[in-house]
Amino acid sequence: MIKNIAIVSLSRGVAGEAFAQHEVEIGLKRLAGYGVNVQFMPNALRGIDYLTAHPEARAADLLQAFRDPGIDMILCAIGGDDTYRLLPYLFDHDELRRAVTGKVFLGFSDTTVNHMMLHKVGLPTFYGQAFLPDVCELGPAMLPYTERYFAELLRTGTIREVTPSDVWYESRTDFSPSQIGIAPAAHPDDGFQLLQGSPTFSGEILGGCIDTFYDFFDGTRYADMPQLCRKYDLFPTAEDWKGKILLLETSEERMPPEKYRAALTHLKNAGVFRAVNGVLIGKPMDRKCEDVYKQLLVEVIDDPALPVVCNLNIGHAAPRCILPFGVRACVDVVAQKITFA
């Protein structure tokens, strides 16, 4: 059972900004309702400007959280877009490997980079939720489907089974205090969808936000990111992907189809699709570009035998489940469930 949670800001310092304090207060009250102790790591609330200028401070918070024996779970405040800048401070002297202990680590979006870092040093992690987007939901409560998995993780330290949500929610455009107590608009959902291949397959899940993976290979956003990712061998090798299940989900930037094709092509050229046992695709926000993404998956993968399952409630589209990385998963589209060993 999780008793002590540390909140870290590894990508962007939104949690420390005045405009987000009403959200932070909501989240802290909800966590108190679970009976857990919460602490923000020393730099987590220092704001966007400071944390942008000081990646070493973000890295120090992560290392301290792992070293602290009193912390059970490390919860990311939010995603962002430059977590890769922590690499030298975590790997130059093997700092992360020497600091890592068996704690729950939960985040998504640009935190994909941190998941790859922790995979590199052998720590199983949990993908799919974060403090501000989920615990701090402005509605009357956490979204029920989201809360179900968050509560299970707190109660048991793991996730045993994931099934689809009955509804999906429109993305918020207004996060001001005026929205407190107002739930997002909901629509009926239609479960896991088999795009191609066998409806049952298994393997350890690994992956994350495809926008972030694109930046592993393309320096348009950050010129030095591909170079640093190569220097520290951050992207798993084709051999490492062998037998795994690739998870991909898209960000709030609603990746244009031509960029989505390019991102998939980078993954294909890295040998990922030849190696994995299957692919899981998170629902795009507001279901934008959903059909064209499916078409591109079929075209770029170019292997009808490789199972591809779409419309998972994971990543940027609400509500969100939590998927464990580093443990065996069994996907069964007919039964509409994913179970974990």
Q: What pLDDT, in 10s, does the model give residues 138-157?
A: 999 999 999 999 999 999 99
pLDDT of res. 129: 98
Q: At what angle do helices 257-269 and 290-301 cross, to 10 degrees?
A: 30
> Which are the contacts of 288, defined by CB distance < 8 A and separation ≥ 6?
254
The pLDDT, as a whole number, for residue 252 is 95
pLDDT at 240: 98
- pLDDT band at residue 260 using 50, 70 and 90 as cut-offs: very high
Nearest to 319 by CA among 193, 164, 197, 161: 164
> CA-to-CA distance for 102 and 95, rounded, in angstroms?
16
pLDDT at 178 (0 to 100): 98
pLDDT recorded at residue 207: 98
Q: For 49-69, what is the mean pLDDT? A: 98
Within this chain, do residues 224 and 310 fall inside the same structural domain, yes or no? yes
What CATH number does residue 199 fall under?
Answer: 3.50.30.60
Q: Do 103 and 230 share a domain, yes or no?
A: no
Q: Give the 3-state DSSP-derived string for 229-269, with helices as H, strands as E and coil as C.
A: HHHCCCCCCHHHHCCCEEEEECCCCCCCHHHHHHHHHHHHH
For residues 97 and 230, state if they share a domain.
no
The candidate with the shortest Cα–Cα distance to 107, out of 46, 69, 58, is 58
User: What dihedral angle (degrees, nearest 10) is formed by the CA atoms of 290, 299, 258, 289?
Assistant: -10
Q: How confident is the model at residue 136 (pLDDT cuts 50, 70, 90)?
A: very high
pLDDT band for 193, please (50, 70, 90 cuts): very high
Residue 228 is predicted with a pLDDT of: 98
**Helices 112-120 & 210-217 angle (0-180, nearest 10):** 70
Give the predicted TM-score (pTM) of the model: 0.98
Which string of b and e fits 93-112 if b means at least 16 CB within 10 Å?
eebbeebbeebbbbbbbbbb
Average the pLDDT over 274-292 and give the result: 98
As for how many domains the chain has, the answer is 2
CATH of the domain at 67: 3.40.50.10740
pLDDT at residue 194 in the model: 98
CB 71 within 8 A of CB 103: yes
Please say which residue of 127, 160, 193 terminates a domain. 160
Please list, residue by residue across 235-250, b when 16 or more beta carbons sit within 10 angstroms of its beta carbon and e when fewer do.
bbeeebbeebbbbbbb
The answer on 298 and 176 residing in a single domain is: yes
Query: Is 81 or 230 the better-scoring residue by pLDDT?
Result: 230
- Spatial contact of 2 and 28, defined as CB atoms under 8 Å apart: no
Helix residue spans in 104-256 (DSSP H): 112-120, 144-156, 210-217, 225-231, 238-241
Q: Which residue range forms the structural domain that includes residue 144?
A: 4-160
pLDDT tens, residue by residue, 231-248: 999 999 999 999 999 999
Same domain, 156 and 172: no
Indicate whether 271 and 149 sit together in one domain: no
CA distance 194 to 215: 28
Element (H, E) at 105: strand 104-107
The residue type at 290:
E
Give φ, ψ of 126 to 5 degrees.
-125, 130
Distance CA 332, CA 194 (A): 10
The dihedrals phi and psi of 206, each to the nearest 5 degrees, come to -155, 145
Compute how many other C-beta atoms are within 10 angstroms of the C-beta atom of residue 24.
Answer: 21
In this structure, are 296 and 212 located in the same domain?
Answer: yes
* Measured distance CA(329)–CA(307) in Å, rounded: 14
Do residues 195 and 239 both lie within one domain?
yes
Report in angstroms the alpha-carbon separations of 258 from 210, 273, 309.
Answer: 13, 19, 21
Q: What is the mean pLDDT of the chain?
A: 98
Last residue of a domain, one of 134, 160, 186: 160
